[in-house]
A and B are shown apart, each in its own frame.
Chain A
Amino acid sequence: MAVCIAVIAKENYPLYIRSVPTQNELKFHYTVHTSLDVVEEKISAAGKAMADQRELYLGLLYPTEDYKVYGYVTNSKVKFVIVVDSSNTSLRDNEIRSMFRKLHNSFTDVMCNPFYNPGDPVQSKVFEGMVSGMMVQVS
């Protein structure tokens, strides 16, 4: 269950960002922004073999005292960042991967929509629904 999910475009501006505890949005935005550096570092380190699924999933980018940040990059340099709460029962790596997979699939569907211009903010209800399903349920 994620606390914050962000989709960042190739040019490193957010296409979609959503956090559950809306009051801490700015904090999460900042966290995601800083995580981009780590993502870039990992991408460049990967170098060859770009198409490997493994490479798409970047894994734990960096942990802080409160939460962990996971990264995932697509072949088109669109990055997904998931922030999960550390106090949460530690999600297994597979779960994180499945979350990223779902994100990727939904994002692909959004991309397939001819009415979506790449680079626009993602406003698809289906996408939002899927993200809501992945977020921590906060009453």
Chain B
Amino acid sequence: MESLTLSDGEQRYYSDLFVYCDTDNTKKVASNGRVLDLFRAAQLPSEVVLQITELCGATRLGHFGRSQFYIALKLIAIAQSGLPLRVESLNSVKDLPLPRFVVGKNEAEARHAALYQEADSQGIYPGAGVIPRPPGRGLQNKKVTPVVPPVVPVHEVIQALAPASEPQCMVQPDSTSPVVSPHQSPPTSPHSWRKHKRQASGGSSAADRPPAVATAPAGVWTQFREAPTVPVPVPGDGMWSAHSPPPPPVQETWVSFTADTPPSSAIPAMHPSSVQESTTVRTVASAATTNEIQRQSSAYDDPWRITDEQRQYYINQFKTIQPDLNGFIPGSAAKEFFTKSKLPILELSHIWELSDFDKDGALTLDEFCAAFHLVVARKNGYDLPEKLPESLMPKLIDLDDSAEVSEAAVDVGYSGSPVEVTPNKSPSMPSLNQTWPEMNQANEQWETFSERSSSSQTLTQFDSNIAPADPDTAIVHPVPIRMTPSKIHMQEMELKRTGSDHNHPTSPLLAKPPELSEETKLAASLKFVADNAVGEGYSSSDSYTSDQEPITRQRSHSGTSPEALKVVGAAPPPPPPRPHPSHSRSSSLDMNRSFAAGAVAGQPQPGAIAYPPAVPPRPLPTQVEKPPEGAGPLRTVKSDGPAEERTPTSLNSAKGASGPLAPPPKPVRRRLKSEDELRPEDEPHGPQRSNLIAAVLATQPSIPRSIGKDKKAIQASIRRNKETNTVLARLNSELQQQLKDLLEERISLEVQLEQLRPFSHL
């Protein structure tokens, strides 16, 4: 780095400043924060500051090391004395005054102080009153030299740098500096103030500024002076009215102030006290306010930032117009309000354009605060920005709040209650709002679903409890349960339907677990069975009931009828449950086997077990999936029904007269039976045919409704049907032949009759 020679005074001053700025004690200072404040307090144009930072090398490094900092300070001093900024001048310039920094951390506020006086003279605009308070900080230094003419306190102000951390903590220049500065400050203070004003570039003429400068500090001082005496209208309650007093009592209060605080005045500036020492200096009443103000101003500099006090003030003003903080201020009301500020309409119009963020012709609370802040700034000489500064943008705040809220709500509420989600969501977070109710609903749905599943569990358990109680019922198979609400409901319906029979309820229940998809068919089949039962009065149910029903369920429901046929003399109360009917579609080979195996009662067991082998071509009795196909051939087969009854019965008997065995052919038989009624039978050939047909039927898989899980089974059934078709076709042809023969016989008989008749005629 460029070598730098500093005088002792400078050395001390710079080190103090560096320590002050080096908040992290890292021996290097970031290029923001206090350093920026410091540089800004130097009252230099921003370009100059930039140049200085560049020259000292901080831009290269990204931060201020001690040497960079010292160089920067020296350059500031050079700039403030009006010399061109050169690296060479660092060492060449002798007797350079120490860099001066305005007391006000926020130079804007200092500006406000000056301009406030103007505003005061123009008439009080309430909002402006907010601003003057901060510069009160600077007035502390004014206490220093009561005897010095008004201008000098300004210089004192300029010289001392009020640290932000402590309200009255002042960076005290060396002992030499107070001596040096007063001499030099008079010519420069107006200069610095002018610079200050230049930067303000307010609408009012700059010429007014310098004279105002003299009054300004005094006015500011008085304002500050008023702070302890007058209940500080920090929240802005009294600000509206407090403005008229300040200008008149300027002089006297100042005088009184000086009279009051001679002791404290002696402390600062005159003493080369270190920064830490000056912390002891405290003004009595203004401590709180100035402390607060300084702290606020010490925040990362943003001239457009709204301090908390200001915001509170704005909010109170908002309430006077619109009590609801979430509501809008209509344009007309806002117009009246801001017209009171006596700003030109054009500027007010521009302020409105900036602050009405959503262009709706009304001001929300945030928009109102932004507008108010802009008005205040304008009143104090700030140029209105072309675009709304970020800190004034209303949306950001909403976003933050709602984002935090919604995130918290999402995190917590997803598992918890949706009530935690706050209703206050900004329009910028609508998606989250919408998704939240959906999530809630999802939760509910999840909950209900779980409830349902639990109930289904109870249902099944209940069923299992019932089953063992009945000695006749088969063992409940530990079949996996696929429970869905609808299915359970259906099962319940079936249960009710089958409630009359003790045994049967169990069997349906037993059948429930395995296949839920079968349940639908179960219901359908039950109905079908009921219809059939009603229609034909099969009594097979009784026999079935005696038998182990579970196995029968595997059969199509129509299977009951054959059994009924078998049991000729049996009473015809149709068995409502008809386990097999319910089962018509659902049975699969596995199920059949399982049920067959599970037929605990034993009677059907051997039969059931034997059954499948007995009917080899029918691997899955319920495999007949195509009801129409099955029905067709079955119907034709039914023509031989009565005769065939024997065969099935024989078959059944062959199988040990196990009820369950019969079902497979039975549905066929039942249909056949119905067909029998319709069609005349050819008795002589019937038996033959019936035998043939019985055989066919034996091979015939039971009526249609099997689920047909096995494609092979389907194909097998197709084959069987085709065989049946051929058989029936043959039968048809034979019957046709028989018919012809019969007709011939008839004709011959008739001929004989006629031959005899002529005999009679004769």
Q: In the complex, which residue of chain B has the Cβ closest to the Cβ of A116?
A: B349
* Interface-lining segment among B152-160, B327-335, B640-648: B327-335
Q: In the complex, which residue of chain B has the Cβ closest to the Cβ of A122?
A: B349
* Interface-lining segment among B43-51, B83-91, B92-100, B356-364: B356-364
**B361–A112 contact, CB under 8 A?**
yes
Q: Does B255 contact A (CB under 8 A)?
A: no
**B346–A113 contact, CB under 8 A?**
no
Smallest beta-carbon distance B322→chain A, Å: 15
Q: Does A22 contact B (CB under 8 A)?
A: no
Q: In the complex, which residue of chain B has the Cβ closest to the Cβ of A127?
A: B353
Q: In the complex, which residue of chain B has the Cβ closest to the Cβ of A125?
A: B350
Most buried by A among B332, B346, B353, B356: B353
A1-22 vs B, CB cutoff 8 Å, 1 = contact: the mask equals 0000000000000000000000
**B353–A113 contact, CB under 8 A?**
yes
**A126–B331 contact, CB under 8 A?**
no
Smallest beta-carbon distance B85→chain A, Å: 33
Smallest beta-carbon distance A44→chain B, Å: 32
> Which residues from 82 to 139 on chain A have a C-beta closer than 8 Å to any C-beta of chain B?
109, 112-116, 123-126
Smallest beta-carbon distance A125→chain B, Å: 6
**B386–A114 contact, CB under 8 A?**
no
- The answer for the CA separation of A116 and B356 in the assembled complex, in Å, is 14
Q: Does B345 contact A (CB under 8 A)?
A: yes
The interface residues of chain A lying within 8 Å CB-to-CB of B335 are 114-115
Most buried by B among A112, A114, A125: A114
- The answer for the CA separation of A115 and B332 in the assembled complex, in Å, is 8
Q: Tally of A-B residue pairs with Cβ under 8 A?
A: 35
Contacts known (A109-B353, A126-B353); A115 close to B360, Cβ less than 8 A: no
The interface residues of chain B lying within 8 Å CB-to-CB of A116 are 349
Which of A112, A123, A124 has a CB less than 8 Å from the CB of B360?
A112
**A124–B332 contact, CB under 8 A?**
no
The interface residues of chain A lying within 8 Å CB-to-CB of B361 are 112-114
**A125–B356 contact, CB under 8 A?**
no
Which of B338, B346, B356 has a CB less than 8 Å from the CB of A112?
B356
Smallest beta-carbon distance B567→chain A, Å: 85
Interface of B is mostly: helix
Q: In the complex, which residue of chain A has the Cβ closest to the Cβ of B329?
A: A114
Q: Does B13 contact A (CB under 8 A)?
A: no
Smallest beta-carbon distance B26→chain A, Å: 45
Q: In the complex, which residue of chain A has the Cβ closest to the Cβ of B334?
A: A114
- The answer for the CA separation of A129 and B332 in the assembled complex, in Å, is 26
The interface residues of chain A lying within 8 Å CB-to-CB of B332 are 114
Q: Does B352 contact A (CB under 8 A)?
A: yes
The interface residues of chain B lying within 8 Å CB-to-CB of A113 are 331, 349, 352-353, 356, 361
- The answer for the CA separation of A124 and B384 in the assembled complex, in Å, is 13
The interface residues of chain A lying within 8 Å CB-to-CB of B139 are none
**A115–B349 contact, CB under 8 A?**
yes
Which of A112, A123, A125 has a CB less than 8 Å from the CB of B386?
A125
The interface residues of chain A lying within 8 Å CB-to-CB of B331 are 112-114
* Contact size range, B: 10 to 19
* Contact size range, A: 10 to 19
- The answer for the CA separation of A116 and B349 in the assembled complex, in Å, is 7
**A109–B359 contact, CB under 8 A?**
yes
- The answer for the CA separation of A109 and B356 in the assembled complex, in Å, is 10
> Which residues from 25 to 68 on chain A have a C-beta closer than 8 Å to any C-beta of chain B?
none
- The answer for the CA separation of A116 and B352 in the assembled complex, in Å, is 10
Q: Does B714 contact A (CB under 8 A)?
A: no
Q: Does B348 contact A (CB under 8 A)?
A: yes
The interface residues of chain B lying within 8 Å CB-to-CB of A112 are 331, 356, 359-361
Contacts known (A114-B332, A114-B334, A114-B335); A123 close to B349, Cβ less than 8 A: yes
> Which residues from 170 to 208 on chain B have a C-beta closer than 8 Å to any C-beta of chain A?
none
Most buried by B among A115, A116, A124: A115
The interface residues of chain A lying within 8 Å CB-to-CB of B346 are 123
The interface residues of chain A lying within 8 Å CB-to-CB of B350 are 124-125
Smallest beta-carbon distance B251→chain A, Å: 39
The interface residues of chain B lying within 8 Å CB-to-CB of A125 are 350, 353, 386
The interface residues of chain A lying within 8 Å CB-to-CB of B386 are 125
Smallest beta-carbon distance B582→chain A, Å: 67
- The answer for the CA separation of A69 and B338 in the assembled complex, in Å, is 41
Q: In the complex, which residue of chain A has the Cβ closest to the Cβ of B345?
A: A115
Q: In the complex, which residue of chain A has the Cβ closest to the Cβ of B343?
A: A115
- The answer for the CA separation of A109 and B352 in the assembled complex, in Å, is 10
Smallest beta-carbon distance B437→chain A, Å: 33
The interface residues of chain A lying within 8 Å CB-to-CB of B356 are 112-113
**B359–A124 contact, CB under 8 A?**
no
Q: In the complex, which residue of chain B has the Cβ closest to the Cβ of A117?
A: B345
Smallest beta-carbon distance B384→chain A, Å: 9
Q: In the complex, which residue of chain A has the Cβ closest to the Cβ of B350?
A: A125
The interface residues of chain B lying within 8 Å CB-to-CB of A115 are 335, 338, 345, 348-349, 352
- The answer for the CA separation of A113 and B334 in the assembled complex, in Å, is 10
Q: In the complex, which residue of chain A has the Cβ closest to the Cβ of B331?
A: A114
Q: In the complex, which residue of chain A has the Cβ closest to the Cβ of B332?
A: A114
The interface residues of chain A lying within 8 Å CB-to-CB of B349 are 113, 115-116, 123-124
The interface residues of chain B lying within 8 Å CB-to-CB of A126 are 353
- The answer for the CA separation of A115 and B339 in the assembled complex, in Å, is 9
The interface residues of chain A lying within 8 Å CB-to-CB of B348 are 115
- The answer for the CA separation of A72 and B361 in the assembled complex, in Å, is 24
> Which residues from 579 to 636 on chain B have a C-beta closer than 8 Å to any C-beta of chain A?
none
**B353–A124 contact, CB under 8 A?**
yes
Q: In the complex, which residue of chain A has the Cβ closest to the Cβ of B351?
A: A115
The interface residues of chain B lying within 8 Å CB-to-CB of A123 are 346, 349
- The answer for the CA separation of A116 and B332 in the assembled complex, in Å, is 11
- The answer for the CA separation of A116 and B331 in the assembled complex, in Å, is 11
- The answer for the CA separation of A126 and B386 in the assembled complex, in Å, is 8
**A114–B352 contact, CB under 8 A?**
yes
Chain B residues in the interface with A (C-beta under 8 A): 331-332, 334-335, 338, 345-346, 348-350, 352-353, 356, 359-361, 386
| 12 CB < 8 A contacts A-B | A109-B353, A113-B352, A113-B361, A114-B331, A115-B335, A115-B338, A115-B345, A115-B349, A123-B346, A124-B349, A125-B353, A125-B386
| Complex A-B, nearest 6 residue pairs according to Cβ-Cβ distance, in ascending order | A114-B331, A114-B335, A115-B349, A112-B361, A115-B348, A113-B352
- Knowing that A109-B353, A114-B352 touch, tell me 17 more A-B residue pairs with CB under 8 angstroms: A112-B359, A112-B360, A112-B361, A113-B331, A113-B352, A113-B353, A114-B332, A114-B334, A114-B335, A115-B335, A115-B345, A115-B348, A116-B349, A123-B349, A124-B349, A124-B350, A125-B353
